[in-house]
Amino acid sequence: MTIHSIIEERIAGKAVAALYAKSGLRLELIDKNTVLGTGLWPDMRFRIEGSELELVCEIKTGLCRDMLEPVVKLLQTAVEGRPPMIMANYIDAKLGRALREFGVNYADVSGNAYIKLGPYFIFIEGQIIADGLSQTRSAKQFSSTDLQVIYALLTNPNLLNQNYREVSQCANVTLGVCGSVFRELKDQGYFVEAVSTKKREWRAKHKLIGRWVEQYPMLIKRAFLGEFSTPKSDWMLADSLSNFDAQLGGKVAVAKYAQAEVGGYSVYVNDQQQWQFIRQMGLTKDAENSAETASSNVKVFSKFWGRATVSQELDKPSSTASPVNPSTVHPTKAHPSIVHPLMAYAELIQTGDHRSRDAANRIASRYFV
């Protein structure tokens, strides 16, 4: 168990106790994820004592308003339609108001709470920070370049034990950024390093995936070049893309990884080729391609990662996941280069509608178990 998991378990225990002390409502723990704080699956499930009503809970060591929406979107995907709840060290009045607007129940260590479920309605606000645990600082937010390094580590299985030069080439960042990110991840307990061999081993990879997805909107906002339209129906096929260092996301990736028809087209193009790509594919932002003549609407992003340390073949899906036909998962002649499942998953979470959530959960269960 990592230090984060220990803190999160303490937060849950104190929040449940504070809720009972302030309101008389007791929550019974009925299930706990073996890896707390993943964001991909709920941390805990509680039942309201004396009823069959359940709350599916995510535990946070800290929340900030700027990151709240992606946190909630990830939680709403993880709960799969069940009543969501967040427990945290402290939830002030502004955060509480935002959570209520999202329809998310909450409770903190100090006794601030909002539960609206069945016949139960509890709303407690204005409780001040109660003890040392409530003052626990949350892990710092990663910068955009930090997130590039983390993406490279999460999508290249062998990269964790490579030197910084190799990492920098995969993440498209400087060596100094790599060193800083590795120190931060080690300090936060995401991996451990053997004293004698210096071999690194993941300890909380799922938690890091969850944090990366939560902060994905900040990274992708910087990479977004615009939404374009084109009359070409075959722009995404192999013959069209063969001259470009580009990878397809959006509905093409979702179709491969989740066998679902969700979302629109997206493509990630190397910085040196992106405007040549836009011209050659006939992409335009103006009125030349009206709704009647445009065949595709395409979101174009700068490809923020560098080369991969492994082949384009993806990691084998978990043996515990639903069986998948490899021919429908790996890049094909028709679509030679598709983004990693993690990118497809993050895009779906950002979309946030019901069908996207279902597809995201399908990808998570197949590739992140």
**296-302 β-sheet, strand order:** 224-230, 296-302, 265-269, 246-248
> What pTM, to 2 d.p., does this model score?
0.82
Which candidate, 177, 172, 298, places its Cα nearest to that of 230? 298
Question: Distance between CA atoms of 326 and 331, rounded to whole angstroms?
Answer: 10
> Which residues are paired to 44 by β-bridges?
32, 57
Q: Could you tell me which residues come within 8 angstroms of residue 242 by beta carbon, excluding any fewer than 6 positions away?
A: 336
Q: Is 78 helix (H, G, I), strand (E, B) or coil?
A: helix
Hey, which bits of 93-164 come out as E strands? 105-108, 113-117, 120-124
Instruction: Read off the DSSP letter of residue 338.
Output: B
Structure tokens, 2: 């990592």
pLDDT, residue 133, reads 53
Phi, psi dihedrals of residue 321, rounded to the nearest 5°: -85, 170
* Mean pLDDT of successive 10-residue stretches along the chain, which has 369 residues: 72 94 95 64 88 92 83 88 92 94 95 96 89 54 94 93 94 94 91 92 88 92 91 74 86 92 90 88 68 68 77 41 37 64 94 90 86
Hey, which bits of 23-103 come out as E strands? 27-32, 44-48, 54-60, 84-88
Residue 162 CA: distances (Å) to CA of 157, 159, 190: 10, 5, 16
Question: Distance between CA atoms of 70 and 235, rounded to whole angstroms?
Answer: 31
Q: Domains in the chain, ordered, with CATH?
A: 3-135 (3.40.1350), 144-204 (1.10.10), 209-367 (3.30.460)
